[in-house]
Amino acid sequence: MHLANRVLVTGGAGFIGSHICDRLIDKGYEVLCVDNFFTGARANVAHLLDAKTFELMRHDVTFPLFVEVDQIYNMACPASPIHYQFDPVQTTKTSVHGAINMLGLAKRVKARILQASTSEVYGDPSVHPQEESYWGNVNPIGPRSCYDEGKRCAETLFFDYHRQHNLDIKVARIFNTYGPRMHPNDGRVVSNFIMQALRGEDITLYGDGEQTRSFCYVDDLVEGLIRLMESPDGITGPINLGNPGEFTIKELAEHVIDLTGSKSTMIHKPLPQDDPKQRQPDIGRAKEHLDWQPEIALRDGLTKTIAYFDGLLKEMS
């Protein structure tokens, strides 16, 4: 049986990582949050700094880390195209060297380790919805490749450490997630649209806006990640975690305009290279193995996220 008390969250000061830290502290774990603050911020975990069971450490996972823990959530990696394309070599290093370092740590201290993989391993998918058995359609040399191929290589490393060293691994393939503490300038569609709507600026649809995404509220995702981490030994994944509700980008814009009461209008901008046309998770495995499915509807999640960004804008003014 796997018993855990001390948990390492890499990328713990980021959007998803900080929500994991919150939930783990609530559940009574000791949490070590490690981050180099490239896209994360102390502010995301500032409310935890007084907790006796919480520790924050500045560290870059591309360098080895020597700590004693029972579980590792390996979340460190910029997730938005603007940020991961800013220094693509560092992005690949974070995924690949970061995975090697965290897997080495897990091996030394016999910890269970969960990898934050991504729907991007499916690339621009030719199978819809995406099941875990689909191997993907990924450009190895494009602008998104540092992220997509970095994450694919990290999955390879996880499964090789599992086969070669019997490591206790869990691999989650996360689909588009949104919620409070998303970076306001990360260029992602939910944060862009909400900020544009709240400021009364034009809403920028890339391409015709008919491409689809499936948006999962962060609380649902974190529940799925923790269930996966706490699942029985034999369940390694990969397991898709996301919300199967599929929307066009134009529909998302309409919801945001409606919920903010904004006077913003939609304009079209060129579609970025290699932008996937559609994306929707098949979450059959998560339902079967984790008894998990998202509970929060898009409009409810958007309402909470809009309130967060509204608060940020008021702080900034």
Residues marked active site are found at 147
78 binds ligand NAD (CB under 6 A): yes
Nearest CB to ligand UDP, comparing residues 148 and 223: 148
75 binds ligand NAD (CB under 6 A): yes
Nearest CB to ligand UDP, comparing residues 111 and 256: 256
Sheet holding 71-74, edge to edge: 54-58, 30-35, 6-10, 71-74, 112-118, 169-174, 239-241
Q: Which residues lie below 8 Å from residue 290, measured CB to CB, with a gap of 6+?
A: 224, 227, 228, 231, 235, 239
In Å, what is the CA distance from 271 to each residue of 107, 204, 267, 275, 316?
43, 10, 12, 7, 30
211 binds ligand UDP (CB under 6 A): yes
Q: Which of residues 88-117 bind ligand NAD (CB under 6 A)?
A: 94, 98, 116
204 binds ligand UDP (CB under 6 A): yes
In whole angstroms, the minimum distance from the beta carbon of 240 to ligand UDP comes to 14
Q: In sequence order, what DSSP letters do the residues of 73-128 get, joined into one string?
A: EE--S--SHHHHTTSHHHHHHHHHHHHHHHHHHHHHHT-EEEEEEEGGGGBS-SSS
- Judged by CB under 6 A, the residue of 188, 197, 240, 283 near ligand UDP is 188
- Judged by CB under 6 A, the residue of 9, 11, 54, 121 near ligand NAD is 11
Q: Which of 81, 85, 70, 166 is nearest to 118 (CA)?
A: 81
- Judged by CB under 6 A, the residue of 154, 249, 257, 286 near ligand UDP is 249
If contact means CB under 5 to 8 A according to the sort of partner, which of ligand NAD, ligand UDP, none does residue 238 touch?
Answer: none
- Which residues form the interface with ligand UDP (CB under 6 A)? 81, 176, 188-189, 192, 204-206, 211, 213, 249, 271-272, 275
